[in-house]
Amino acid sequence: MEETATIKKNWTAGLRFWSDREELLGPLFLFPAILYIVALVGIPFMIALAYSFSDVTVGNTSLDFAGLQNFQAILKTPQFITSLGNTIVFTIVSQIIIIVLANILALILSEDFRGKWFARFLIMLPWATPIALGTIGWLWLLDSKFSPIDWTLRYLHLLGEPGALLGAQKNLFYLGRVELAKASIMAIYVWRMLPLAAVILMAGLTSIPQDILDQADVDGASFWRTLFQIKLPLILPIMSIALLFSLIFTIGDMAVVYVLTRGGPVYYTQILPTWAYYKGIESGALAEGAATALFLFPVLLAVAIMVLRFSRRTEVT
């Protein structure tokens, strides 16, 4: 009896000793996160880096240094050039649309109206949906035969009859025509990232002190002047962070293209992540796949640093 009491006492004393040692506890608690990042991000990244400068293939896994050979090789293939162009265009166009729509949405949602809570909930849904699942939903919506969008257009007499605005054919074949397929992909990017961007901007808008807005009112500023000279400049730092998030999510995503078009028609909607996958995994050219995947890394890194610097510089308080 006495013995268990001493053990218990020693145990609590030990616990107290350890819980006071911040210099040990800090690293201990950080360790799982570091392990996770090293094992699932750091090591694969290093391997990809090594692959991209080697001649490794699925058939011959010995790593021999090949210099910039892979990068030179991929730059000569039209598929890579198309993928690179698509990645840049899809990302830039979708980000522009996202920023404009997210600002409008955030302005609407930061006003007071009935059912605001429900509207906010609905708007967050696309962000909460797993991307592959959401894209499958879009795949059905954009089906070449049974698309509900086409059905609606036909119902509105915009499609499928002589003289209709969108043509006399029964369907638009969204994923079968290059321009429509590209537009569909960008639309899904927008659909996907808009909620997050809008919520971040909304947080920014609600953080503007009411006094400042009242002051603008008293100073005689119109709605547009208040928007462009007060509200938007004040949420610029937050907007740049929202943009950075959205940009990184969009540029690194392969699920949308992989599920929706598989890069088709032909390879005209390929983007770097999907092309790297097809090239590296499905065709076994690991080195070229890695080079493709890493091609934009320096650009992305530079953009991220620039945005973070910019948001810090424009921060005002």
Among 12, 222, 266, 305, binds another protein (CB under 8 A): 222
Residue 317 contacts another protein per CB under 8 A: yes
Residue 25 contacts another protein per CB under 8 A: no
Q: How far is CA 162 from CA 43, 79, 87, 154, 173, in A?
A: 60, 38, 37, 11, 18
Residue 227 contacts another protein per CB under 8 A: no
DSSP code, position 175: T
Site for another protein in 190-209 (CB under 8 A): 209
Residue 312 contacts another protein per CB under 8 A: no
Distance of CA 28 to the CA centre of its chain: 32
Instruction: Tell me how far apart the alpha carbons of residues 89 and 84 are, in angstroms, rounded to a whole number.
Output: 9
Q: Which of 191, 192, 201, 202 is nearest to 117 (CA)?
A: 202
Q: How far is the CB of 220 from another protein (least distance, A)?
A: 4
Among 225, 309, 312, 313, binds another protein (CB under 8 A): 225
Among 104, 217, 306, 312, binds another protein (CB under 8 A): 217
Stretch that binds another protein, among 31-39, 56-64, 230-238, 245-253 (CB under 8 A): 230-238
Written in H, E and C, the secondary structure of 144-159 is CCCCHHHHHHHHCCCC
- Is omega for the bond preceding 265 within 30 degrees of 0, making it cis? yes
Planar angle of CA 69, 72, 270, nearest 5 degrees: 120
Based on CB atoms, which residue is closest to another protein, 111 or 179? 111
Q: How far is the CB of 275 from another protein (least distance, A)?
A: 42
Residue 218 contacts another protein per CB under 8 A: yes
Q: How far is the CB of 199 from another protein (least distance, A)?
A: 23
Angle, helices 116-128 vs 178-206, to 10°: value is 130
Residue 223 contacts another protein per CB under 8 A: no
- Name the token pair of 297: 């890394």
Based on CB atoms, which residue is closest to another protein, 141 or 236? 236
Q: How far is the CB of 233 from another protein (least distance, A)?
A: 5
- Name the token pair of 263: 């890069």
Positions in the binding site for another protein (CB under 8 A): 209, 211-212, 214-222, 225, 229-230, 233-234, 236, 314, 316-317
